Amino acid sequence: MALIVQKYGGTSVADGERIKNVAQRAIRAKEAGNDVVVVVSAMAGETDKLINLANELIPLPDGRELDVLISTGEQVSVSLVSMAIKSMGHEAKSYLGYQIPIKTDSVYGRARITNVKPDKIVKDIKGGKIVVVAGFQGIDDLGNVTTLGRGGSDTTAVALAASLKADECEIFTDVDGVFTIDPNVCEKARKLEKISYDEMLEMASLGTKVLQTRAVEFAKKYSVPVHVRSSFNDNTGTLVCQEDEEMENVAVSGITYDKNEAKITITKVPDKPGIAHKLFGAIADANIRVDMIIQNVSQEGLTDITFTVVKTDLHKATNIVREIARQIGAKDINTDENIAKVSIVGTGMRSHSGIASTMFGALAREGINIMMISTSEIKISCVIESKYTELAVRALHEAFQLDKKPFTKDGSMPTP
Amino acid sequence: MALIVQKYGGTSVADGERIKNVAQRAIRAKEAGNDVVVVVSAMAGETDKLINLANELIPLPDGRELDVLISTGEQVSVSLVSMAIKSMGHEAKSYLGYQIPIKTDSVYGRARITNVKPDKIVKDIKGGKIVVVAGFQGIDDLGNVTTLGRGGSDTTAVALAASLKADECEIFTDVDGVFTIDPNVCEKARKLEKISYDEMLEMASLGTKVLQTRAVEFAKKYSVPVHVRSSFNDNTGTLVCQEDEEMENVAVSGITYDKNEAKITITKVPDKPGIAHKLFGAIADANIRVDMIIQNVSQEGLTDITFTVVKTDLHKATNIVREIARQIGAKDINTDENIAKVSIVGTGMRSHSGIASTMFGALAREGINIMMISTSEIKISCVIESKYTELAVRALHEAFQLDKKPFTKDGSMPTP
């Protein structure tokens, strides 16, 4: 007998029929002999509706009160799912964040879980109940309602799974799992059977939106096996788990892209100590997150610095950079919004050589110019012209033969 | 400096504009030097919408989960009202039932408040905050969410006022106060300046729906002065308070009517001990509430018994009575749905004579036949044909000169 935590997103509980489906699926898992804890999000669109309600009243609603407001979305869902399960003849009980409690810090709107007390849930599941928990919400030490930020229900599910020492945390979503590439862009996209936590982190933060980054970090920290799968069919999805030998044999697991960034270049910056600190300190003070930073070796005491920010921050960042450029005597500023970042991600990169050159070669063969390059242990990213994005990722998918199952038996890697 | 609890109903927080009005009104009371606690209901229509959501899923939703669901309505309201107050430059803080806590028993859907801990609220109002409390909801000893039944926010407000020892509990509603008669039926209706708790209880249970009965009982028990007034203007409303000498000088304070009952008569019942017990025991077992019961002296060992029930229970009650009638050998059963109960209510009745005869005379002058009469210490009710209802209450209003302010200075009572 296993203990399973199932998390259902907003589209899975969007209406009465789907709520009944969720109830049936939970009951199937229960009747198969498992203990079942269900975590649900707000019905699709509900959180946005509540935020709009607040924004129509006040442009900048108070953080504490906004969390009181939007946490009602999950409260509605847990009650409906519990009712549905009970109407089907099984015992069920809903829990809100404070009832468990799921303790968090006091950062309204993006609180972090600090502690989960599983005792009441353990008692209920031992008593035969299916427990239904409100995702996304918690309570701080002073008893205030908090919420965990977009996608926070994933983190609720993983945190519960960790505290309950669950055998698996199933994340039900509207896709079949994690793919080697966005299936909307490349029809040869292949569903991954397994992916490591680290790869998933790079995939998620790079724009594959199936799982909240914080949930993956949590899963990694407590070694919770996470099964990402569709709530609309019974197919096996993708298991997010600890790195194993098999994975290390695969150089590249997936390809991602991000069209949401813009780049800023400052030309002919005097190459003196403290310049970078001054520039990026000012940007950080304005709460702007910088992604890639490139500074090449200087010529004649002058250098160029290029970095990327999310597009919505471009205007604000440019104003700051202009002022700093004036102060430090840099020559000029260029900005470019028509860029995309394409990345290859793979745990096996650590032990395989030639990966970068395969990537650059694939892009070159399509005549795509690389503007910036950034590498980490398990990821290589290139910034290119935005219009080439789809062409680039398809070329990379092809180059690393991601449509084929990797040859893992003999440790050999498919190469072009 | 006074401490005021203000309660706003669903129509007063129905949209953004009205929520801002509520915020402004609370701030005005605060700026006038008072400590202010605001209790709010769900936005108009919201509770019904949530119940429909559940009913679409399941015909008979689980009680515990239904309370989890419908308590979100007030949660939405408190967050929005608090945001609005803060956006206007005042400090505000919302409280949900469990955060105070407002302790109740575990009867889902119509829980009774057992205990209110005002400590946190006291601390916040001493700190200068306007405290905004979710009406209608509480928490039981096991930490389950409960709700107090229709109109339960009134009870929340009065219970809070009692526990805070507030100087006044203002109930803001969509009418100007408590009237001598339904203004829709009689244009001479006069707003009462004062009414006693007992009179209000009789008025409320007889169909004047401005204040939940339980709230009045609570107010009476803890001597909380309740000010019923409109949220759409600044007029003084009606003060519901302890009986005073002035009130005792007024024989009749108001006229009410109820068209929602039906009567059942069993004829030629053998007049033996235990018959009434058998009949009404069976009806009580079926959870049917009986209002008036009339049994006259018997003739030749046979008597007639007539009683009233709410119309929706008539069919069920008739079936039970038919079976009992057969068992006890009664002759026949008659039922009548076309009835109305008209009542006069007044604390002064206790010390004034001739009130009943004035009532009967007024009805007789209009040619209205009285079918049943029932009296209590401060109320006389007559059952008449339903079609005469409006005519009857207008005639009674006229007979007791309720359109005129009572002459209280010299203790004289207006008589026709």
pLDDT digits (tens, 9 = 90+) for B378-406: 999 999 999 999 999 999 999 999 998 87
Q: What is the per-residue pLDDT across B16-45, written as a single tens digit (0 to 9) for each?
A: 999 999 999 999 999 999 999 999 999 999
Residue A211, domain member (yes or no): no
Please report, for the domain that includes residue A399, its CATH number.
Answer: 3.30.2130.10
Res. B409: pLDDT tops 50: no
Q: Which pLDDT value is given to residue A207? A: 58
The structural domain count of chain A equals: 2
**Mean local confidence (pLDDT), B115-138:** 97
Single residue among B174, B190, B209 that ends a domain in this structure = B174
Read off the pTM.
0.84
Closest Cα in chain A to B13: A57
- 8 Å CB contact between B37 and B166: yes
**Mean local confidence (pLDDT), A101-130:** 96
Structure tokens at B286: 């079926």
Single residue among A136, A157, A174 that ends a domain in this structure = A174
**Mean local confidence (pLDDT), B327-332:** 90
Inter-chain residue contact B79 with A68, CB threshold 8 Å? yes
Residue A184, domain member (yes or no): no
Task: Enter the ipTM.
Answer: 0.82
For B352, list phi and psi in degrees, rounded to 5.
Answer: -110, 140
Q: What is the per-residue pLDDT across B253-296, written as a single tens digit (0 to 9) for each?
A: 999 999 999 999 999 998 888 888 899 999 999 889 899 998 87
Residue A196, domain member (yes or no): no
Give Cα A382 distance to the centre of its chain.
20
* A255 and A164 within one domain: no
Res. A313: pLDDT tops 70: yes
Structure tokens at B384: 């008449």
Inter-chain residue contact A96 with B68, CB threshold 8 Å? yes
Say if strands B261-270 and B332-336 run parallel, antiparallel, or are unpaired. antiparallel
List the one residue out of B10, B214, B260 whose CA is nearest residue B107. B214
Q: Please calculate the CA angle A342-A343-A346 and round it to the nearest 5 degrees.
A: 160
List the one residue out of B210, B203, B238 whose CA is nearest residue B342. B203
> A98 — contact with chain B (CB < 8 Å)?
yes
Q: Which pLDDT value is given to residue B367? A: 94
**Mean local confidence (pLDDT), A95-113:** 96
Q: What is the CA radius of gyration of chain A?
A: 24
Sign for the CA dihedral angle at A393, A394, A396, A397 comes to: positive
Closest Cα in chain A to B77: A69
> B21 — contact with chain A (CB < 8 Å)?
no
> A43 — contact with chain B (CB < 8 Å)?
no
Higher pLDDT, A171 or B211: A171
* B61 and B169 within one domain: yes
Place of tokens 């005129």: B404
Q: Please calculate the CA angle B12-B17-B18 and round it to the nearest 5 degrees.
A: 10
> B57 — contact with chain A (CB < 8 Å)?
yes
How many other C-beta atoms can be found within 10 angstroms of the C-beta atom of residue B290?
17
Structure tokens at B302: 């046979």
Q: Which pLDDT value is given to residue B413? A: 45
pLDDT band of residue A320 (cuts 50, 70, 90) is: very high
Residue A343, domain member (yes or no): yes
Residue B209, domain member (yes or no): no
For A342, list phi and psi in degrees, rounded to 5.
Answer: -110, 140
* A161 and A281 within one domain: no
- Residue B342 domain boundaries: 246-416
Single residue among A153, A174, A195 that ends a domain in this structure = A174
Q: Which pLDDT value is given to residue B208? A: 61
Q: Which pLDDT value is given to residue B224? A: 96
Residue A210, domain member (yes or no): no
For an interface test with A, the pick among B68, B78, B144 (most A C-beta atoms closer than 10 Å) comes out as B68
- 8 Å CB contact between B333 and B265: yes
Q: What is the per-residue pLDDT across B128-154, written as a single tens digit (0 to 9) for each?
A: 999 999 999 999 999 999 999 988 999
Range of A86-100, A257-271, B363-377 with top mean pLDDT? A86-100
Res. B408: pLDDT tops 50: no
* A274 and A155 within one domain: no
How many other C-beta atoms can be found within 10 angstroms of the C-beta atom of residue B28?
12
> B65 — contact with chain A (CB < 8 Å)?
yes
**Mean local confidence (pLDDT), A255-270:** 93
> A322 — contact with chain B (CB < 8 Å)?
no
Q: What is the CA radius of gyration of chain B?
A: 24
Q: What is the per-residue pLDDT across B229-244, written as a single tens digit (0 to 9) for each?
A: 998 899 999 999 998 8
Residue A277, domain member (yes or no): yes
Torsion on CA atoms B201, B206, B212, B216, rounded to nearest 10: 0
Angstrom CA distances, A149 to A197, B94, B137, B222, stand at: 20, 21, 27, 44
Res. B245: pLDDT tops 70: yes
* B416 and B331 within one domain: yes
Residue A355, domain member (yes or no): yes
| Three-class DSSP category at A128 | coil
CA atoms within a 13 Å half-sphere pointing along the CA-CB vector of B80: 30
Q: Which residues of B touch A87 (CB under 8 A)?
A: 57-58, 60-62
Q: Which pLDDT value is given to residue A208? A: 62
